[in-house]
Amino acid sequence: MVRVVSAPSPAILPAPVSVRRGAGRPVRLSGAVRIVAPRSLGSEARWLRRILEEGTGWRVEVVDPGDADGRAPTGSAVVLEVAAALRRQSRGRVAGGYRLEVRDGHVRVAGDGPAGVFYGLQTFRQLLPDATLRRASVTTGSGGRPAGAGPVVLEPLVVEDRPRFSWRGAHLDVSRHFMPKTFLLKLVDLLAFHKCNVLHLHLTDDQGWRLPVDRHPLLVEVGAWRRQSSTGHRRERRFDGVPHGGYYTKDDLRELVAFAAERHVTVVPEVDMPGHVVAALAAYPVLGNTHRRLEVGTRWGVYSQVLNLEERTLEFCADIVDELCDLFPSPFVHLGGDECPTTEWARSPKARALMATEGLASVRQLQGWFTKRVAAHVTARGRRVVGWDEILEGPVPDDAVVMSWRGVKGGVEAALAGHDVVMAPEEWLYFDWAYRDDPAEPLAIRGSTPVEKVYSFDPVPPEVPEDRRHHVLGAQCQLWTEYVPTSDRAEYQYFPRLCALAERIWSPSQGASVGDDGVAAYEAFEPRLARHLRRLAALDVNYRPLDGPTPGQSRKWR
Ligand code: ACM
């Protein structure tokens, strides 16, 4: 069976800057495909070979351009290169641009660097039949033997594309519910498929500690497990009586980081402090203000117990930062900093004495004092601090990145003060919220954030003046998991909202000049999204259909 992909409307998502009909002859891909790539693109070429072989059953070989030159072109080729002209164009702009051309038997993917080539290849995948996204070829030959996908004909096409923002991310809370490593790998693949490049892992919180720290082994031995979990909505004050937990080994995390790096995704680790630390206090009560024995948190919400501000606690935090930096090459280290009550410090003679010696006027300022100390350690390790927008209430390093979650206000303020900003406002980008305020939706913390609303979000609020816009690095969605007990459910919460976000952070803003396939308005987006959902189905994503949950996803049947 020959499948012809029509041009120039292949429903690419996120929408490229421009897509147009090309010149020359179509490309016919079948049983044997060559990938021509220089050694510097070996990682991208190997990745392409793996997914093409899996999804098509074709024989795919990777050859060096030196070997390919001079040989009569036999069969079709996918040619990868870093183009100096694209690299020049990208100078001073967000990297990741590419040009994909289908012409005269070849698919040529030129990038401004390896990431650009990789994004061009993600677009190429979307030109192929959906079945090729599967893990094995579904076209069976005689006797049921896999015969590989039949020939695919691609019409001549030119795609020119580049990302709008450098931070295109998704956050995942693995504390409230532990998520298996295989899901993290799948999520990285899905982020890359949508040309996103950051996975922000929220590794620690009151209800579970997931990060192994060799110098302080009880963090996971004790802190990774809770006796039971809240069930139903937390207002109901019911508990399930079932222990829950887990943690990643250092090798699990190294594997994740390496897997992500191959897909041009940075894993940004977060250790939340000085609040949201009950799991750590359960392991080491000496870090607390009362030294009272606590159990790992079982209810959702903000706890009054926070870290004390003693020197040995700061040393403990520095140990964590050190081991975190050894595991995660990310240029960014997230120190949390959100929702830190000051009631314990107000009652603590030691904290009050510290206020006096440091000349702090209010208990609130103690958090800034703490963050400044830990941030100095992060900076000394050559990394940049990221914090939730509460960190703006105290002194932070000039290069700290502020994550604006309580609306966009903190982000605007931070940009005006000269800080880089990642937009993560709850009203648009908290994907633990329900899609709709509807009893058919699965239980969620609150509602509602439909796909249209996510698509309406622009990371640069009008209050940010032109000369400060470069401070907005991009945006990310958040998935807090109090009400997300499984990875299956996590997929439901992310998809298809993440598709909408991906387009808003990759594609040109509304009103900008976009190609004939890339009108950035929801009316134009929705049909493309509907088409894209078939790709997600082939990738085994438990997405929410546009017209509402399936019976299996709905709360009505629970
Ligand atoms: C947050 O939602 N506490 C960052």
6 falls in which pLDDT band (50, 70, 90)?
A: very low
| C-alpha 389 – ligand 1 centre gap (Å) | 9
Residue with CA at minimum distance from ligand 1 atom 3: 338
Kindly report which listed range (27-36, 41-50, 254-263, 293-302) carries the lowest average pLDDT score: 27-36
Q: Which comes out higher in pLDDT, residue 536 or 514?
A: 536
**Tokens 């976009």 belong to residue:** 514
d(CA 297, CA 204): 12
Determine the residue of 204, 207, 388, 393 to mutate for testing ligand 1's pocket, defined as the one with the most ligand atoms within 8 A of the Cβ atom. Answer: 388
399: amino acid identity, one letter: D
* Residue 519, pLDDT score: 40
291: amino acid identity, one letter: H
Residue 405 in contact with ligand 1 by CB distance below 6 A:
yes
* Residue 138, pLDDT score: 87
513 falls in which pLDDT band (50, 70, 90)?
A: very low
**Tokens 């003693």 belong to residue:** 310
Which one, of 545, 535, 490, lies nearest residue 183 by Cα? 490
Q: What DSSP string runs through 324-360?
A: HHHH---SEEE----S---HHHHH-HHHHHHHHHHT-
Q: Is 399 a catalytic residue?
A: no
* pLDDT > 80? residue 482: yes
Structure tokens at 214: 């060799």
The predicted-structure confidence for 109-167, as pLDDT tens digits, reads as follows: 999 999 999 999 999 999 999 999 999 998 765 665 555 667 899 999 999 999 999 99
pTM: 0.95
Identify the active-site residue in 130, 252, 339, 438.
Answer: 339
Q: In a 3-state reduction of DSSP, which class is residue 482?
A: coil
* Residue 69, pLDDT score: 59
Which one, of 186, 399, 299, 14, lies nearest residue 387 by Cα? 399
* Residue 372, pLDDT score: 97
> Is 273:307 a contact under the CB 8 Å cutoff?
yes
* pLDDT > 60? residue 542: yes
Peptide bond into 8 cis (omega under 30): yes
Which one, of 226, 418, 211, lies nearest residue 320 by Cα? 211
Q: In a 3-state reduction of DSSP, which class is residue 81?
A: strand
Q: Which comes out higher in pLDDT, residue 138 or 186?
A: 186
Residue with CA at minimum distance from ligand 1 atom 4: 338
| C-alpha 338 – ligand 1 centre gap (Å) | 6
Identify the active-site residue in 171, 216, 244, 276.
Answer: 276
Which atom of ligand 1 sits closest to the CA of residue 336? 4
> Which residues lie closer than 8 Å to 446 by C-beta, 6 or more apart?
433, 434
d(CA 465, CA 467): 6
**DSSP β-ladder status, 18-21 and 157-161:** antiparallel
* CATH homologous superfamily for the domain 3-136+149-161: Chitobiase/beta-hexosaminidase domain 2-like (3.30.379.10)
| C-alpha 407 – ligand 1 centre gap (Å) | 11
Residue 247 in contact with ligand 1 by CB distance below 6 A:
no
d(CA 168, CA 165): 7
| C-alpha 439 – ligand 1 centre gap (Å) | 25
Domains 3-136+149-161 and 167-297+319-338+369-538 share a fold: no
**Domains in the chain: boundaries:** 3-136+149-161, 167-297+319-338+369-538
* CATH homologous superfamily for the domain 167-297+319-338+369-538: Glycosidases (3.20.20.80)
Dihedral of CA 331/505/517/28: which sign? positive
* Residue 514, pLDDT score: 33
Q: In terms of C-beta distances under 8 Å and separation of at least 24 residues, what long-range contacts does 482-487 make, across chains too?
A: 482/176, 482/177, 482/230, 482/234, 482/300, 482/432, 482/445, 483/233, 483/432, 483/442, 483/443, 483/444, 483/445, 484/176, 484/177, 484/432, 485/177, 485/229, 486/177, 487/179, 487/180, 487/183, 487/186
The predicted-structure confidence for 211-228, as pLDDT tens digits, reads as follows: 999 999 999 999 999 999
d(CA 86, CA 94): 12
Q: In a 3-state reduction of DSSP, which class is residue 237?
A: coil
The predicted-structure confidence for 343-375, as pLDDT tens digits, reads as follows: 999 999 999 999 999 999 999 999 999 999 999
The predicted-structure confidence for 411-451, as pLDDT tens digits, reads as follows: 999 999 999 999 999 999 999 999 999 999 999 999 899 99
* Residue 154, pLDDT score: 95
